[in-house]
Amino acid sequence: MENQLSVVILYIQGNVDKEWREFGRTEVIDNTLNPDFVRKFVLDYYFEEKQNLRFDVYNVDSKTCNISKHDFLGQAYVALGEVIGSLRGRLERTLAGVPGKKCGTIVLSAEELSNCRDIVTMQLCANKLDKKDFFGKSDPFLVFYRSNEDGTFTICHKTEVVKNNLNPVWQPFSIPVRALCNGDYDRTVKIDVYDWDRDGSHDFIGEFATSYRELSRAQSQFTVYEVTLLSFTVQSEFTFVDYIRGGTQLNFTVAIDFTASNGNPSQPTSLHYMSPYQLSSYAMALKAVGEIIQDYDSDKLFPAYGFGAKVPPDGKVSHQFPLNHNPDNPSCVGIEGVLESYFQSLRTVQLYGPTNFAPVINQVAQSAGEISDGSQYYVLLIITDGVISDMLQTKEAIVAASSLPMSIIIVGVGPADFLAMEELDGDEVRVSSRGRYAERDIVQFVPFRDYIDHSGNQVLSMARLAKDVLAEIPEQLLSYMKMYDIKPLSSSSQ
């Protein structure tokens, strides 16, 4: 075979329309069958999104930019998360697409740009805030938003609530520069001031806009809308990508609610109903979260449990039965394997009750407690339709798990009132049990109904859900590593 002129074209798939769009091309390399391309593609990476890439390889045999005039040599499909989730960010894929021909391989490597590594630590206070409560003073907290390219805003931090105080001083907090402004120092940062209410209907006190550059220049002189910046420091730290590239694996476990309040699975009104035309909310939530996390788990084996059902052969109620009915090995192969076992369990168990979370949280915590070197981080997804029955035990389990390499995602499906669940999501008030507070915020709760696309587009509903529930995982993993001063595996072994 003669030597040739090679070029690689990168295409990125749209999250909504699923269209492939050309992102860029490498330089053309001639006279070698093993080209090593120099030109890099710089992409924004979001852990919480499925970022599908396609690499097409061509032999260039004319000067035209029209790709249809060149010889197609093969292509590879990959998610950006798969490349980053590979050891040291290096992934080899076989090229395909030319029938009856071996097309060779493509080697992809990913590295993080250094300007994303900065972490800001700041402290703010406020003076003479509006009194919003009829009895007593306000309970103020701040919400930070970064602006997106399309003019919308994404929440990136909430301070703690300072109770009964119109002149609050909030605790110092740390946030990656990337989360605050995506590395763009002049991008708008919006800060809202709220008065906390127990029922979740927080009263709006006011808002103001600033930017990373303004905050960093102002230091302690910055005062807007009665809010003053007391301190602002920047330091570079290890990032989520550093740990993943170093070999940290995300272990994904799922727990599904099989209580009777879900309705008879054979009826279309049931939240577990297996329609031949569309996925149930349970299946959508599982697929949305699992398909992203699986890129960071090399063995693709996922323990999967059910709770709140009477289980054969003896019909006893269980709150942590393996969906594959194999207590010695509850792991399923891939997300499709979990779905298969879930559908199988719906046919074999009797939906019952109550809705207990603590047993399955403690089960995963036991595994997480056995490994503390940073090589494993556990993510438990609980999907439920209703109000929790063992709130005290669950709070105790969460407080105990907060010192372990573990995060918990709770997705509420159906029309229930999930007010009690907000208490478990420690964004505003840290979870406590018997006077002991959680060491980290490890729980994220969302009601699935907030993400459902009203035109019936399930792909869009799943993408929206995954984006929100997974957004906090990188920061939660980093908070654990920082708490125990754990460095990325590859850097600590050098």
State how far the Cα of 90 lies from the Cα of 77, in Å rounded to an integer: 15
| Helix ranges (DSSP H) in 53-161 | 80-85
pTM of the model: 0.74
Quick one: how far is CA 299 from the chain centroid? Answer: 19
Cβ atoms of residues 319 and 307 within 8 Å = yes
| Helix ranges (DSSP H) in 2-58 | none
- Residues 6+ positions from 254 with CB-CB distance below 8 Å: 286, 290, 302, 303, 304, 305, 338, 380, 381, 382, 383
Cβ atoms of residues 345 and 323 within 8 Å = yes
Report the pLDDT value the prediction gives residue 131, as an integer from 0 to 100. Answer: 74
Report the pLDDT value the prediction gives residue 223, as an integer from 0 to 100. Answer: 63
Per residue in 404-444, pLDDT (tens digit) is 999 999 999 999 888 888 888 877 788 999 999 999 999 99
Report the pLDDT value the prediction gives residue 220, as an integer from 0 to 100. Answer: 47
Provide the sign of the torsion angle of the four alpha carbons 243, 300, 373, 377, taken in this order: positive
* Positions in the chain whose pLDDT score sits under 50: 1, 220, 493-494
Task: Give the burial class of 299: count Cβ atoms within 10 A of its Cβ; 0-12 exposed, 13-18 middle, 19 or more buried.
Answer: exposed
Containing H/E element for 425? none
With CA atoms as reference, report the closest residue to 81 among 105, 56, 110.
Answer: 110
Per residue in 1-24, pLDDT (tens digit) is 355 789 999 999 988 788 999 999
